[in-house]
Amino acid sequence: MTWEFWVTSIVVTATPGTGALFTVAAALTRGARAGLVAAAGSTLGILPHLTLALSGAAALMTASPVAFSVVKWLGVAYLIYLGWGTWRQSSVLASPSDAQAPPTALRTIGSAVLVNLLNPKLTVFFFVFLPLFVDADRPGAVVEMAALGAVFMGITLAIFAVYALAAARLRSSVIGKPRVMRRLNRGFAVSFVALAGMLAFAHP
């Protein structure tokens, strides 16, 4: 496990993306616990990418513009859906006294998994960059790749947890302030749509 792998993994994970944005939004909305649940769900969303990479489907995805485009446009559509829903529902950053029940932990995890499942940035990392750190001709290459994937998931969970806890500490500054909450709410909505626009131009 080289230092290049660590640097690449940290940069990919720490760069604000769909999973990080979803985690921060959950923490600001419902506190540290919800943010940590979202961080765990985003980390679980990495598993399908790792599984496909280990199965050899990575080569197919990289070689097939159609397959990559399907994943990419599903991700774009889901981000636009999140953005539209966030813009419409003023209760996304609602205060604890609001009558609407907050999403359950299971629903939060499901949404977080889907966010990262349809994240082309992860597809590119596992299908293009991860194989560069493994010698395919060496015995146990699959096990080594699985170990690197597990380390990447650990890095993701740790960084996203920091994002969640930091956002939760800021929560008291926005809860109960309708104008601030409305601006944050719309800011998240615009961010989701902006990410969708960036992903639309992603290439394998």
The reported pLDDT for the residue numbered 184 is: 67
Short-list 135, 154, 193, 159, CA closest to 46: 154
The reported pLDDT for the residue numbered 142 is: 80
Number of neighbours of residue 95 by Cβ within 10 angstroms: 13
Whole-model pTM? 0.70
How many Å apart are CA 101 and CA 68, to the nearest integer?
37
Quick check: 32 pLDDT over 70? yes
Number of neighbours of residue 130 by Cβ within 10 angstroms: 22
The residue ranking higher by pLDDT, 188 or 94, is 188
Quick check: 42 pLDDT over 70? yes
Quick check: 197 pLDDT over 60? yes
The residue ranking higher by pLDDT, 51 or 186, is 51
pLDDT in tens, 67-110: 667 766 776 776 677 677 667 654 444 443 444 456 677 888 88
